[in-house]
Copies of this chain bind each other. A is one copy, B any other.
Amino acid sequence: MADTTYDVVGIGNAIVDIIGRCTDAFLAEHGASKGHMRLVDADTVVKLYQAMGPGIEISGGSGANTMVGVASFGGKSAFIGKVADDELGRIFAHDIRAAGVTYQTSPSTGGQPTARSLILVTPDGERTMNTFLGVSPELNHGEVDAALVAAAQVVYLEGYLFDRPEAKAAFRQAARIAKSAGRKVSLTLSDAFCVERHRAEFLELIRADVDILFANESEILSLYRVATFDEAARLARADCELAVLTRSAKGSVIFSGETAVTITPEPVARVIDTTGAGDLYAAGFLYGYTAGKPLEQCGRLGSIAAAEIISHVGARPETPLAKLAAQKGL
């Protein structure tokens, strides 16, 4: 795959996170399901923001976080996602470019504002997300740069984009471009509720085009409507070349045909904020995969990145991941 300019190109929502702390009671009072992402409208995001405590703004977006992670390991990544020409949009564009990711999607003018996610972190470090998508789903066919997608070894698709029909079309287009160029298509299921909303279409896309599937335990159980991890894993390995399944504190398992590689998680002194754990695991895995490393090393790189991200607030690495990988001899 020496004819590629990029290791990975990601397509996803372009979001700025507004992160604050709250109690479990606050989540219940505001009807937010702990640990999940829910979409909220413009009025709700304003009301919830008024009710929540002081925040910290950090660029986010699941696929964008993953591309930043790949760059932090030293990989070459690009991102496609839509912001508006407003302050949060400028913050998003600045941060992802400053992290070394190629980002060329032009901002929209007028209309909807840049997406934001109110991320409420409970004392146990678990994050619950309330996302107002704003302009983000207005990523239309024309904005998926075919040359860019074809120039990357792997295209990485964020499941959250399925929540809007316009974005879904862009999503499918990207998968087709990658396939015709002989590239790999990877998908993250993003959230169990998101899978619940789009199960049939996810399965269709996975069976038709997806080579590398990322999911956590609750997402993969929801996708196949089964009760056990082993059963879900059996179905996933039949549907994709690689099924990369994360299990929080239990680590992760990578399924490739008849092979299953189990990865123990990196130890973490104290979990501060789980936002971005899955995104950064995918970053480490994809960096290793596109560098031609064995699956066990890809998984370890994922675990290292996930451990870094849950040790602080926000879903963008604070320590260069290349340095952490080198310390572990990877």
Contact = CB atoms under 8 A, between A and B. Distances in A.
Interface in A113-130: 113
Interface string A91-116: 10011101100000000000001000
Contact of A314 (B56, B91, B96, B99): B56
Contacts of A95: 54-55
A165 interface: no
A86 interface: yes
Contact of A58 (B50, B57, B99): B57
A161 interface: no
A267 to B, nearest CB: 19
A96 B53 CA distance: 9
A143 interface: no
A210 interface: no
Interface string A62-97: 000000100000000000000000111001001110
Given A87-B86, A87-B87, A88-B87, A56 B54 contact: no
Interface residues of A, number: 25
A177 B68 CA distance: 52
A75 to B, nearest CB: 17
Contact of A54 (B55, B98, B113): B98
A127 to B, nearest CB: 16
**Most chain B CB atoms below 10 A, which of A57, A91, A94, A99:** A57
Interface in A195-250: none
A55 B87 contact: no
A34 B87 CA distance: 27
Interface string A242-260: 0000000000000000000
A320 to B, nearest CB: 11
A55 B314 contact: no
A125 B98 CA distance: 21
7 contacts: A20-B98, A49-B94, A55-B91, A55-B95, A56-B56, A56-B57, A87-B87
Q: Which 4 A-B pairs have the closest CB atoms?
A: A57-B57, A87-B87, A54-B95, A54-B98
